[in-house]
Amino acid sequence: MTGSDMDVFFQSRRYCIAALLLAGLLGLSQAQTPQRTVLVVGDSLSAEYGLARGTGWVTLLEQRLAKEKPGTRVVNASISGETTFGGRSRLAALLAQHQPTHVILELGGNDALRGLSLDATRANLEWMTQQSRKAGARVLLLGMQMPPNYGADYAKRFEGLYAQVARAEKAGLVPFFLKGVADGPDPTRLFQPDRIHPTAEAQPLMLGNVWPELKKLL
């Protein structure tokens, strides 16, 4: 091999090594950068109230996404006791910080438990949906229902406001987040002693209600 041939050989080798290193760095960057981010803004139903850490439906969602939709990051920004007013006050900062591709809104139950204005609850959900969409995220609303002891008219109006917001804002909708949990023959079986917060056994059922609708948005 002549000196000229040696130069070409080593130069080609350097290019190959550089190309491999670049490809490796790009692959590492892609692996570390999530393809999508799901932001969950909810109350105690999503904040693992009364449950062992890592057993709530949001953690189960994260595990399922890791298997079925790799490259998805889940951010759980849920706070026990949160209302739609509280969620509204926090949302802008959450959108700016996490830049989600998808937002799950699980709020409103505490509004009803406190007897807050249904019009205000609907307006807050509409605003949060609008702001999430403006930030480039697709939105999924998790609907709730109230026990009949709150009055048939109030319960009906409360249940209907989620569908109203979903239609108006073109958002995804889970009609009743606690379907199969709170409407069974024994409505207390899957609840903690406070009869408000579902047990660990109920969490897969809750995820089962969310997953089909979220999958459509993914």
Q: Which of 43, 44, 102, 132 is catalytic?
A: 44
φ, ψ dihedrals at 60, nearest 5°: -65, -35
Q: What does the DSSP assignment read for 61-91?
A: HHHHHHHHSTTEEEEE---TT--HHHHHHHH
Catalytic entry in 5, 153, 186, 194: 194
Name the active-site residue from 46, 78, 132, 197: 197
Enclosing H/E stretch for 129: helix 118-134
Active-site residue, 132 included: no
Q: Say if residue 177 is exposed, middle or buried (CB neighbours under 10 Å; 0-12, 13-18, 19+).
A: buried
Q: What SS3 class is residue 60?
A: helix
Number of helices (H), then strands (E), in the chain: 7, 5
Contact 139, 169 (CB under 8 A): yes
117 is a catalytic site residue: no
Clarify whether 194 is annotated catalytic: yes
Q: Which of 46, 95, 41 is CA-nearest to residue 209?
A: 46
Angle, in degrees to the nearest 10, between helices 203-217 and 57-68 = 50
* Residues designated catalytic: 44, 194, 197
